[in-house]
Structure 1
Amino acid sequence: MTEPADRFYESQGLRLHYVDWGNVSAPPLVLIHGGLDHCRSWDAIARELQPDFHIMAPDLRGHGDSEWAKGSSYSLTDNVYDLTRLMRFAELQDAAIVGHSMGGMVALAYAGTYPEKVSRLVVLDGAFLSNSQAAPIAEQMSRWITQLDRIGDHQESTFGSIEEAAKRLSTRNKRLTPALALHLAGHGVRKGDDGLYRWKFDHYQRARAPYRLSSEDYAGLWSRIACPTLLMWGDESFLPDPEAAGLLGHFKTAEMEKIAGAGHWLHHDRLDVVLASLRRFLDTTSSPKAVDSRITG
């Protein structure tokens, strides 16, 4: 299957999008992207693993081709609820989940809430706890309100072409090949009536609302996860090493893999290594295929 099918479902009144890679008789695998990203970020991995799994990749609310939330409703718990709706809508049972960054946090929270519904869990650079003390609630409220005001006054970035947007992505991650940057930009921007391209994601997601889970809440959820869990981390990531931070102690059964020469976007920086690890951990049986050069370049 060269291109996935577009599907839509509803959650909290929002029309949310996901792609379905077919192979419905195979075990389900859900791929969850990170913040300010989109579901087609997983294409290279989805094409490789599709012979062994029925793969679905959602666009989180406010991302890709999913609707934007009204009123800045982008909490972790909202995203977890959306995932429960997708699981019910697609009638997924005992699914494996792979999540990157914020998508990994969503996957961890879901697996901790419903440990019996996840067969295996892989988190790419998305397991971390803040060591800083929470600011007084008045300070959090004031900071959040200021952030919302700034975002409301923010002038959106515009691009004259998809190639121009691709160049912007390449400045954020120097390891992106031109072909991969163009692929990500092509699915990450939307052309307006004025002929200019803009990012599909909602900028209001950048605001840090005061109703966030605490580190103790996260740790409590992680301790409930019952399935085998793999935490992956790039040694050039801006996030701390989960093992050095002592996070493995919060899990019943978790293993850690550190990937050399990779930053935050592990599956873009070292696709070969990530794919090999996923094949091993998810216990696939098919032989590796040649990775699509249209994506990796």
Structure 2
Amino acid sequence: MRLHYADWGNAGAPVAILVHGGRDHCRSWDVIARSLQPHFHVIAPDLRGHGDSDWTRGGSYALTEYVYDLIQLVRHIAAPQVTLIGHSMGGMVSLIFSGSFPEQVAKLVVLDGVTMLPDAPRAPTHERISKWVGQLDKLHVRTPRRYSTLEAAAAQMVLHNKRLSRDLALHLATHGSRQNEDGSYSWKFDPYQRASAPHRLWPDDHVALWSRIACPTLLLNAGESFLAGPKAAGLERYFQQAHIETIAGAGHWLQHDKPQEVLDEIRRFLGLGKDAAG
């Protein structure tokens, strides 16, 4: 499997890896990458099934498989220690990585990425497998959506996040879609990424991993996200040294909705002070 990543340069500086969320891609990080690049060697991967990385065979996408992609990237760049910044699913991947390999992570930032809470219910095994098979069956007969222009694809993104500016939506669509033979455009991500793998980690697994994370951790939440706010659940007690902040007026894609506020929090946490977004 070939995995793609964007390398923003600054070799010799501490490494910061930016991990995107589900159905997203590495160029979603451009604003934050530009801000951090003077201080870090910034790298943003496309996880398997996303962006310009290969898709898996058989449609299997569990969080632990993304963790494997991340550990291979760290080995590839030969970084003894990295700072991880992950959004949504990428936040969960970063949390799992940091709990599994705590000595390899200097600092951790999770943007609206605690998607499994400690008290989440666990469905019976047969139900999880049956649901997964049903999802794969539906995806098998599903025709990928096509858009006549990049602008049409960008407009679809705005429907899902009305806070997106036209220019940012077009940037995300340009890097997140590929042109078909008939001139139309389809998303780069593998539709099978939508299926919920039955072989997954559960609340007690996540809590055990969180307790192993040795580095300073920032859980940065969105005030208007569809996810439950970790502060309400008191999640900081599960970590050795976690700090929780909330970005008011931001939805789940907080780095797009409130880029300056998100950047200020990240830079403060990393000890860099404030900077201008963009």
Q: What is the TM-score when the length of structure 1 is the normalising length?
A: 0.91
- 1:8 aligns with none
Q: CA deviation at 1:122?
A: 0.2
Distance in 1 (alpha carbons) for counterparts of 2:25 and 2:148: 21
The reply to whether residue 235 of structure 1 matches residue 223 of structure 2 is yes
- 1:27 aligns with 14
Percentage identity across paired residues of the two chains: 54
Distance in 2 (alpha carbons) for counterparts of 1:32 and 1:75: 15
- 2:84 aligns with 97
- 1:260 aligns with 248
SS at structure 1 position matched to 2:83:
strand
Give 5+ residue unaligned stretches, structure 2. none
Distance in 1 (alpha carbons) for counterparts of 2:147 and 2:114: 33
Summarize the alignment of residues 269-288 of structure 1 with structure 2, pairs less than 5 Å apart: 269-284=257-272, 288=275
Distance in 2 (alpha carbons) for counterparts of 1:209 and 1:274: 31
Distance in 2 (alpha carbons) for counterparts of 1:82 and 1:49: 23
- 1:211 aligns with 199
Match of residue 124, structure 1, among 111, 119, 125: 111
Match of residue 244, structure 1, among 221, 224, 232: 232
- 2:179 aligns with 191
On the 8 A contact 1:109/1:221 being kept in 2, the answer is: yes
- Matched AA of 1:226: A
Q: CA deviation at 1:283?
A: 1.5
- 2:3 aligns with 16
Q: CA deviation at 1:73?
A: 2.2
- 1:140 aligns with 128
Distance in 2 (alpha carbons) for counterparts of 1:227 and 1:237: 26
- 1:168 aligns with 156
Match of residue 145, structure 2, among 142, 157, 172: 157
- Matched AA of 1:54: H
Match of residue 59, structure 2, among 55, 72, 81: 72
- 1:3 aligns with none
CA deviation digits over 1:192-250, x for unaligned, max 9? 11211000000101111211111000010010000000001111000001011121111
- 1:295 aligns with none
Distance in 2 (alpha carbons) for counterparts of 1:94 and 1:79: 18
- Matched AA of 1:206: R
Distance in 1 (alpha carbons) for counterparts of 2:78 and 2:223: 37
- 1:45 aligns with 32
Give 5+ residue unaligned stretches, structure 1. 1-13, 293-297
Distance in 2 (alpha carbons) for counterparts of 1:73 and 1:85: 18
On the 8 A contact 2:60/2:197 being kept in 1, the answer is: no
- Matched AA of 1:92: A
- Matched AA of 2:153: A
Distance in 2 (alpha carbons) for counterparts of 1:235 and 1:146: 34
Summarize the alignment of residues 79-94 of structure 1 with structure 2, pairs less than 5 Å apart: 79-94=66-81
Distance in 1 (alpha carbons) for counterparts of 2:116 and 2:130: 23
CA deviation digits over 1:83-113, x for unaligned, max 9? 0100000111221010000000000000000
SS at structure 1 position matched to 2:31:
helix
Distance in 2 (alpha carbons) for counterparts of 1:155 and 1:262: 33
List structure 1 runs of 4+ shifted beyond 4 angstroms: none
- 1:202 aligns with 190
Q: CA deviation at 1:132?
A: 4.0
**How many residues of Structure 1 are paired with residues of Structure 2 in the alignment?**
277
Distance in 1 (alpha carbons) for counterparts of 2:81 and 2:272: 16
- 1:11 aligns with none
Q: CA deviation at 1:68?
A: 0.3
On the 8 A contact 2:98/2:104 being kept in 1, the answer is: yes
